[in-house]
C-alpha cells in the first residue's frame, strides 16, 4: 500500500493535508471535519479498532476527504475492519481519484487490473450510489458550509484583517504547551475560504509521494515517518 494512504497520527495527517499542526485546536477541527475525522480514524486504526476507524474515515470521506476515501478503499481491499470486498474497494479508490491526484490514480488502476470481469461489473453497478453520496458534487458543498460557518466566527474587520489576535490552545494537539497562535496564521484564508482550501489540497496531493511505488499490506506510520 502506498504510504500516502496510511493512517497517520493527527499532526502528521494535518501536515500532509496542508493544514499546519499549529492551528489544530478543537475549534479548528470542529470547522474542518475532513481533517478531524481522518485524525480520529488514524487513532482508532492505531488502537486496532478497525471498525471504529472505518466509521471515522467515512465521516471524513463524507466531507470530501480524498485520503480518507483512499484509506477506506484499502480497508475494503484488505478486509480490515470489514468483510473483504474488492469491487467496493475499487469504487472507493475511484472516488479518491476523482480529482486526478497521481497516487490515487495509480492505486485505482492497480485495483482495476486485479478485478475479474464479474467484480468489474459489480463495481460499476454499485458505484453510482456511493458516488452520489461521497463524490465531490455532494461532499464538497458540505465541507464548504462548515468552512463558511467557522469563518463567520472570526474576529476582525469586514475586509478580513485579523491583526495580532492571540489564540491560546487550551484544547487540541497543543493543549498545555503555553503556545499562542497569531490570528492571521489561524485565520489564513487557505484554511477558511473554500476556493483557497481546495487549491491548498490540490497543491499537496498533486505531488506524488517520492520513493514509494511498492504495494503491500497497510502499516500505520509513526509521527514523522514518510514525510
Whole-number Cα distances in Å, 3 to 13, 33, 38, 71, 127: 12, 22, 15, 10, 25
Rounded distance, CA 42 to CA 53, Å? 7
In contact, 43 and 8? CB cutoff 8 Å: no
CA distance 151 to 192: 6
Q: What's the pLDDT score for residue 216?
A: 38
* Nearest alpha carbon to residue 61 among 21, 110, 85, 95: 95
pTM value is 0.78
What digits encode the pLDDT tens for the residues 4-24? Answer: 444 444 444 444 555 565 566
Q: For 140-188, give the DSSP string.
A: HHHHHHHHHHHHTT--S-TT---TT-EE--SSSTTTTS---EEHHHHT-
Does residue 226 lie within any of the structural domains? no
8 Å CB contact between 139 and 61: yes
Residue 164: the pLDDT is 45
DSSP summary character for residue 221: P
Beta partners for residue 60, in sequence order: none
Domain presence at residue 217: no
Structural domain for 11, as ranges? 3-205
The reported pLDDT for the residue numbered 16 is 56
Residue 20: predicted pLDDT: 62
Domain contains 167: yes
Residue 219 lies in a domain: no
In a 13 Å sphere around the CA of 44, the CA atoms on its Cβ side amount to 19
Does 224 reside within a domain?
no
Total tally of structural domains belonging to the chain: 1
Residue pLDDT, tens place only, 40-61: 898 899 899 999 999 999 999 9
In this prediction, residue 222 carries a pLDDT of: 44
User: pLDDT of 115-124, one tens digit each?
Assistant: 999 999 999 9
- List the chain residues with pLDDT less than 50: 1-15, 156-165, 169-170, 211-227
Amino acid at each position: 500500500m502506498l504510504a500516502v494512504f496510511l493512517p497517520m497520527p493527527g499532526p502528521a495527517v494535518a501536515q500532509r493535508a496542508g493544514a499546519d499542526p499549529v492551528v489544530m485546536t478543537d475549534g479548528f477541527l470542529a470547522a474542518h471535519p475532513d481533517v478531524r475525522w481522518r485524525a480520529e480514524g488514524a487513532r482508532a486504526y492505531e488502537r486496532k479498532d478497525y471498525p471504529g476507524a472505518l466509521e471515522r474515515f467515512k465521516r471524513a470521506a463524507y466531507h470530501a476527504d480524498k485520503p480518507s476515501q483512499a484509506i477506506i478503499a484499502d480497508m475494503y481491499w484488505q478486509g480490515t475492519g470489514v468483510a473483504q470486498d474488492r469491487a467496493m474497494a475499487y469504487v472507493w479508490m475511484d472516488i479518491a481519484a476523482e480529482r486526478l491526484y497521481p497516487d490515487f490514480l495509480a492505486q485505482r488502476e492497480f485495483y482495476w487490473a486485479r478485478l475479474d470481469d464479474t467484480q468489474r461489473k459489480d463495481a460499476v453497478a454499485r458505484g453510482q450510489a456511493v458516488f452520489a453520496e461521497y463524490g465531490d458534487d455532494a461532499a464538497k458543498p458540505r465541507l464548504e458550509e462548515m468552512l463558511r460557518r467557522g469563518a463567520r466566527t472570526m474576529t476582525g474587520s469586514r475586509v478580513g484583517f485579523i491583526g495580532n489576535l492571540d489564540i491560546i490552545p487550551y484544547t487540541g494537539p497543543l493543549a498545555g504547551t503555553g503556545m499562542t497562535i497569531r490570528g492571521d496564521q489561524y485565520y489564513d484564508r487557505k484554511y477558511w475560504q473554500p476556493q483557497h482550501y481546495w487549491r491548498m489540497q490540490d497543491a499537496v496531493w498533486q505531488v506524488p509521494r517520492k520513493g514509494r511505488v511498492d504495494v503491500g499490506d497497510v502499516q500505520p506510520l509513526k509521527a514523522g515517518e514518510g514525510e
